[in-house]
Amino acid sequence: MTWLELLRNAIDALLQHKLRTLLTLLGVMLGSLLLFTSLAGGLGVIQAVNHRLSAGNRLLQINVHSGIKEVAVTPETARRAGFTQEMTDQRRVRLAREAGVGGKEHVSMTVAAVDQLRQVPHVAASWPELRFSASVHFDASDRWVAASVEGLPPAASDVSQVIVAGTMETPDKNSVLVSELLLYQAGIQTEQQVQGALGTTLRVATRHPPLERLSLAMQGPDAPKSLPPDARQQLSAAIDNIAYRSRPLRITGVYRKPTDKELQLNPNLLVAAHRQVLLSHPASLDCWTGLGKRDQGVTAVVIADVPENVRQVESAINQMGFRTQSLSGLAV
């Protein structure tokens, strides 16, 4: 029997059962259509996820936290722990480890430790996330208010679309952006007053405002006249030694809280949604150092050069004892 005869017999069999043939063909067509639709939808979801994750370098970003590092036990360490008898080094190390020598140690992520991260291969940039609560004083209204403060990264996030007065540009480390709600709470409420506050001084302090106010008064025309100048200077110096002295900063811009839709389109605006005072990175680092928190734990941000190297960078950082978090595993 030839191939042509086989084909003719198959067609004859199909024509003898037209309804069954029609249903079979419809099933094949619907199944194929469903398969293609599923594949297209899956690819669309993958592209949408990758597009959202790629916004703001989030696919390249690695958050680094304090962690725990294994302490290696060497023959010398074992001998110092008392295992000095005649035996092989392998057994000496094994016994020392079983006795609790070595173990684990806490590895704290500090501002100083961020410098180590910059030495890791394929790291394009790294910086500490510095945020803290403080009392801020507005010279424009001579009023103290409590505020949440955060330093913008060195490559500052673009929040220009929520600036309502002034500019986002920070030509020097003493520039600062302030939320319009914080200005309102500080008594700077009309639009004219907001414009007038641009260029004025804002002081960031973490000690009690009356103590800071007294320190400033000791140096100004309102200093107590009953005290001789030398006594006023000594008292002012003593107060300054008690705690962190305020940092004077210049208000260059005022921003509003971003809307939910703006946050969806630009995740970099989150910092403007949750903080009331935004400092340049040098200013926040200066304040953090002045607060005596240099050696306290922080979260560091590491930016890899390309997405393909994120996991390699994470592995190298984990070997240093730090914990890492990234979104690289979500990208396809």
The pLDDT tens digits of the residues spanning 292-305 come to 665 567 888 898 88
- Answer whether residue 11 is part of any domain: no
- Answer whether residue 43 is part of any domain: no
Residue 260 shares a structural domain with residue 181: yes
Residue 251 shares a structural domain with residue 162: yes
Sheet holding 123-129, edge to edge: 123-129, 299-304, 61-65, 323-326
| Range of lowest pLDDT (32-41, 55-64, 167-176, 239-248) | 239-248
Q: Which domain holds residue 318?
A: 61-126+305-330
Cα–Cα dist 115/120, whole Å: 10
| Range of lowest pLDDT (142-146, 156-160, 197-201, 228-232) | 228-232
Residue 103 shares a structural domain with residue 230: no
Q: Per the structure block, which two tokens stand in for 34? A: 């469903």
Number of domains in the chain: 3
Helix, strand, coil shares of the chain as percentages rounded to 5?
45, 20, 30
Residue 62 clears pLDDT 70, i.e. is over it: yes
Cα–Cα dist 143/212, whole Å: 12
Please give the torsion angle defined by the CA atoms of residues 31, 34, 40 and 46, in that order, rounded to the nearest 10 degrees. -110
Residue 158 shares a structural domain with residue 259: yes
275 with 153: CB under 8 angstroms?
no
Cα–Cα dist 291/283, whole Å: 12
Residue 238 shares a structural domain with residue 261: no
Residue 261 shares a structural domain with residue 282: yes
**Model pLDDT, residue 152:** 85
Residue 198 shares a structural domain with residue 314: no
**Model pLDDT, residue 332:** 46
Residue 190 shares a structural domain with residue 215: no
Residue 314 clears pLDDT 70, i.e. is over it: yes
Residue 225 shares a structural domain with residue 254: no
- Answer whether residue 52 is part of any domain: no
Q: Per the structure block, which two tokens stand in for 192? A: 């004219």
